[in-house]
Amino acid sequence: MINIKEIEKVKIKALEKKYPFSIAFFENNNLNIDGYDEYTFEEYLNHFTEEEIEEWAIDIEKIKIDFIAYMNEMLTFLGIEEEDGVNSLTIIAGNNKYGEKEEFESLTIHKGEIVSIVGPTGSGKSRLLADIEWTANGDTPTERSILINEKEPDKKWRFSSSNKLVAQLSQNMNFVMDLTVKEFIELHAKSRLIQNEEEVIQKIIDAANHLAGEQFNLDTPITSLSGGQSRALMIADTAILSTSPIVLIDEIENAGIDRKRALNLLVSEEKIVLMATHDPTLALMADKRIVIKNGGIHKVLKTQEEEKEVLVELERMDKIISGLRANLRKGERLKK
């Protein structure tokens, strides 16, 4: 932990050298430090005139408090990556929306495992996902509890914004930023304080192209990516760059990506994957599936041998369909 007394006396130049990420704080708070290298942090804060303070809505005391909070969180964040991660997630039964006890005792999901969630729309999937995100402790409407590594989780998972338990891949993969693929990944890497940016960027684009039907490169604007390419990029990015150990997927659509590879990529990055789906192929790819009814977990089913055979059949059909699709694209006649 650093404190304001130490930091105040340090020159801006030295701050930048010792803690490169401190620069983002100045940038994002519109604090121009150009030409103030030789000032100490305190001298820098004191150089503003009354007028500037009012004009730009600067609150010196708040900046000091925020800066220390920011620095300490970033330092902890950098440290955390060396810590032991999340190895398992346990859901302990609560109630459904009629107040009846859920029909399972507890379910533990380990790193590298995939669990699918099935059930009608509006049956309570969002609530389950929210319970996990919030690391519920009997204090949500379902009264479920969540354990991490079989222990009551640290409260940091609830409130820390730099250290989230859950990454969520939704069906919507729109981009609102106007950037190239490279700039986009770079921005994300910067926000995660990644050291070996170039290497990570290359890894993500390779993985994304491995999933996508059509290839794209680093100079492609993200807004011109096709639906499949966007999904591929997002899955690769989440697998490789997101620090969240649990990934919630809201139905990966069939269009344009290799879904089996996508799941394998997420699992190979040692994440716990929970996937809401209506698609039998995806549901059977999971090791287990949670059936939701009336806002509660109705059943937990282990994927059976017979179902695995159904999966083989489904995959064979998928292959036929994607073959036909490829031929259609090439402008060929379709044969029986």
Partner 1 sequence: MNLITISGPPSSGKTSIILKTIHALHERDLKVGVVKFDCLYTDDDIYYKKAGVPVKKGLSGSLCPDHYFVSNIEEVVQWGRDEKLDVLITESAGLCNRCSPYIKDIQAICVIDNLSGINTPKKIGPMLKSADIVVITKGDIVSQAEREVFASKVHSVNPKAITMHVNGLTGQGAYELSTLLYDEKEDVETVKGKQLRFSMPSALCSYCLGETRIGEDYQMGNVRKMKLGDEND
CB of 167 to partner 1, least distance (A): 5
Which among 284, 285, 289, 278 is positioned nearest to 262, based on CA atoms?
285
- Tokens describing residue 269: 């990055």
Rule CB under 8 A: is residue 95 a binding residue for partner 1?
A: no
Q: Token pair 């609102």 is at which residue?
A: 176
Binding mask 276-315 for partner 1 (x = CB under 8 A): ----------------------------------------
Rule CB under 8 A: is residue 24 a binding residue for partner 1?
A: yes
Rule CB under 8 A: is residue 175 a binding residue for partner 1?
A: yes
- Tokens describing residue 166: 């859950």
User: Would you say 290 and 115 are in contact if contact means Cβ atoms under 8 Å apart?
Assistant: yes
The enclosing H or E element of 310 equals helix 305-330
Of the pair 48, 281, the CB lying nearest partner 1 is at 48
Of the pair 68, 290, the CB lying nearest partner 1 is at 68
Q: Which of residues 152-171 bind partner 1 (CB under 8 A)?
A: 158-159, 161-162, 164, 167-170
- The three-class DSSP label of residue 72 is helix
Q: Can you tell me the distance from the alpha carbon of 187 to that of 141, in angstroms, rounded to the nearest whole number?
A: 37
- The three-class DSSP label of residue 130 is helix
CB of 28 to partner 1, least distance (A): 4
Rule CB under 8 A: is residue 78 a binding residue for partner 1?
A: no
Rounded to 10 deg, the angle between the 197-211 and 181-191 helix axes is: 130
Rule CB under 8 A: is residue 121 a binding residue for partner 1?
A: no
How many other CB atoms are there within 10 angstroms of residue 273's CB atom? 25
Backbone angles phi, psi at 11, to 5 degrees: -70, 145
Q: Which range of residues in 54-62, 194-202, 272-280, 327-335 is near partner 1 by CB under 8 A? A: 54-62
Among 86, 89, 148, 173, binds partner 1 (CB under 8 A): 173
The enclosing H or E element of 30 equals none
Residues of the shown chain interacting with partner 1 in the complex, contacts defined by CB under 8 A: 24-25, 28-30, 54, 56-57, 59, 62, 65-67, 69-70, 73, 126, 129-130, 133-134, 139-141, 158-159, 161-162, 164, 167-170, 172-177, 184-185, 187-188, 191-192, 230, 234, 237-238, 241-242
